[in-house]
Structure 1
Amino acid sequence: MHLILYSKPECHLCEGLQEKLAQILSTHQELSLEVRDITLQEDWWQAYQYEVPVLFLHSDDGRSLLLPRPSPRATVSQIQQMLQKYVNHHEAE
Structure 2
Amino acid sequence: MSVILYTKSGCHLCEGLQEKLSQVTAFPFVLELRDIQDCADWWQRYQYEVPVLYLRKSQAAPEYPVPRPSPRMSVDQLTRHLQKVIDQLPHSGAGTP
CA distance in 1, matches of 2:21, 2:49: 18
Question: Are 1:56 and 2:43 counterparts?
Answer: no
Q: More helix per residue: 1 or 2?
A: 1
CA distance in 2, matches of 1:92, 1:76: 26
CA distance in 1, matches of 2:90, 2:22: 22
Aligned structure 1 segments of 4 or more residues deviating by more than 4 angstroms: none
Q: Given the two structures, how large is their TM-score scaled by the length of structure 1?
A: 0.90
CA distance in 2, matches of 1:83, 1:54: 13
Name the structure 1 match of 2:95.
none
CA distance in 1, matches of 2:57, 2:49: 23
Q: Secondary structure at the match of 2:54?
A: strand
Q: Secondary structure at the match of 2:28?
A: coil
Amino acid of the structure 1 residue aligned with 2:29: L
Q: How many residues align?
A: 91
Amino acid of the structure 1 residue aligned with 2:49: E
Q: For structure 1, which runs of at least 5 residues remain unmatched after alignment?
A: none
> Identical aligned pairs, as a percentage?
52
Q: For structure 2, which runs of at least 5 residues remain unmatched after alignment?
A: 93-97
CA distance in 2, matches of 1:71, 1:89: 20
For residue 85 of structure 1, report the CA deviation from its aligned partner: 1.0
Question: Aligned-residue CA RMSD in angstroms?
Answer: 1.5
CA distance in 2, matches of 1:92, 1:82: 18
For residue 92 of structure 1, report the CA deviation from its aligned partner: 4.2
